[in-house]
Structure 1
Amino acid sequence: MTAGGRLTAGGRATAGGREAAGRVTAVSRSASYAFSKPNHASITLLAGLGVEGDVHAGETIRHQFRMTYEPGLPNLRQVHLIHEELFDELALKGFAVSAGRLGENVTTRGVDLLGLPTGSLLRLRADAVVEVTGLRTPCSKINDFRAGLLNEMFAVDPLSDELTLKCGVMAVVRRTGTVRPDDTVEVELPAPPHRALERV
């Protein structure tokens, strides 16, 4: 993969082409603090803020717990994205989960969200752009939603003991735009050296 190239569905980087790495399958938002977010026909992403009308939008941190002791920190969690392939994996283990139920704003298919480096740009449709800031940390409320589901949000490599968080990625909005289901997703990688995603 080349720096600044866009990834195709097969994982090849193109030199400025507009081939899609995947697509949006659902968009969701909620005006109040709730674990799940209802699906909508579209959402509007506002540069520097997040999803219009969503409780987690804002320049400074909006995480309900962290606001109590870190209220002035920049909001690196303006938009939450989850890969729909996670739901397929969970279904095989007996967990019925659909778009928005884990609190994400944008559900995707065909994009290796967890494998992206920090600072990757995701171009949603023709106009909206978000920058990936890190991994979502799964919280205990996941077990309130489905008993035993929290354990499925982690994977441990038996050889290296490396822990993988599977509950999607967080991003900030770099360019305003409207996003709808079936919109394309293009991935633009940052210049190397790449930094692996960490919890935010």
Structure 2
Amino acid sequence: MRIPSVVSVSRDDRHRFSKPVVDRIVLLGGLGIEGDAHCGATTQHRYLVKKDPMRANLCQVHLIGVELYDDLATAGWQIAPGQLGENVTTRGIDLMGLPTGSILHLGGEASIEITGKRSPCSQINGFQAGLVKAVFGVDESGRTQSRAGIMGIVLTGGVVRPGDSLRVTLPAEPFRALIAV
């Protein structure tokens, strides 16, 4: 069994679909990732700003498990960390199975509270035609579920690098399933 860890980190100061991989990111409490276009206390996602510019930013940090990329590779897709727009690519944690309110501890300082699932959009097909369908799976009850990652807000700032450990603190029960934010 692998120890849960950070595989890669990415950020971009512009609103582009893919984010370039960097050697470290700096998480800022209550805001997001320093130098990332989605950093801010209120929403920075362009389509959400149009709806409500004062909406709380529940999407400060986007995380995807590298296990998704491994699964997609077996189906012939070639995707590298950061290419689906995530800030943190992880290994060894079932991100999609975490309940809302879980806290991810990254490295020795930073922590992120999980707010919900990423809602995959047609931009994924702009990256690679047909990919949006491939990022969906079927759960135990036969329902179609997104596997496009989870979103969170920064509780505690700090530097995060590839190779950093990950640890999860679950919220109090009853657990609330992740929904799209």
TM-score relative to the length of structure 1: 0.88
Equivalence for 1:167: 148
Deviations 1:67-122 (A, max 9, x none): 11211100000000000000000111111000000000000000100000000000
Counterpart in the other structure of 1:3? none
Query: Any idea what SS the aligned residue of 2:111 has?
Result: strand
How many percent of aligned residue pairs carry the same amino acid? 50
Partner of 1:193: 174
Distance 2:51 2:82 in 1: 27
1:4 paired residue number: none
Worse-superposed segment, 175-184 or 63-72: 63-72
Deviation at 1:164, TM superposition (A): 1.1
Alpha-carbon separation, structure 2, partners of 1:61 and 1:175: 19
Deviation beyond 6 Å, 4+ runs, structure 1: none
Say which of 27, 35, 53 aligns to 1:45: 27
2:113 corresponds to 1:118 = no
**One-letter code aligned to 1:164:** Q
Q: How does 1:46-85 map to 2 (within 5 A)?
A: 46-85=28-67
Task: Please state if 1:154 is matched with 2:148.
Answer: no
State how far apart, in whole Å, the 2-side matches of 1:181 and 1:192 are: 31
Corresponding residue to 1:179 among 138, 154, 160 = 160
2:113 equivalent to 1:135: no
SS state of the match for residue 65, structure 1? helix
TM-score, scaled relative to structure 2: 0.97
Question: Matches of 1:88 and 1:153 in 2, distance apart?
Answer: 12
Unaligned runs of 5+ in 2: none
1: CA distance, partners of 2:178 / 2:79: 24
Counterparts of 1:39 and 1:32, CA distance in 2: 14
Residues 132-164 of structure 1: per-residue CA shift (max 9 Å, x gap): 00000011010110111010111234x744221
- Residue segments in structure 1 that go unaligned for 5+ positions in a row: 1-8, 11-20
Aligned Cα root-mean-square deviation (Å): 1.2
CA distance in structure 2 between the partners assigned to 1:75 and 1:91 by the alignment: 32
Name the CA distance, whole Å, in 2 between partners of 1:74 and 1:48. 10
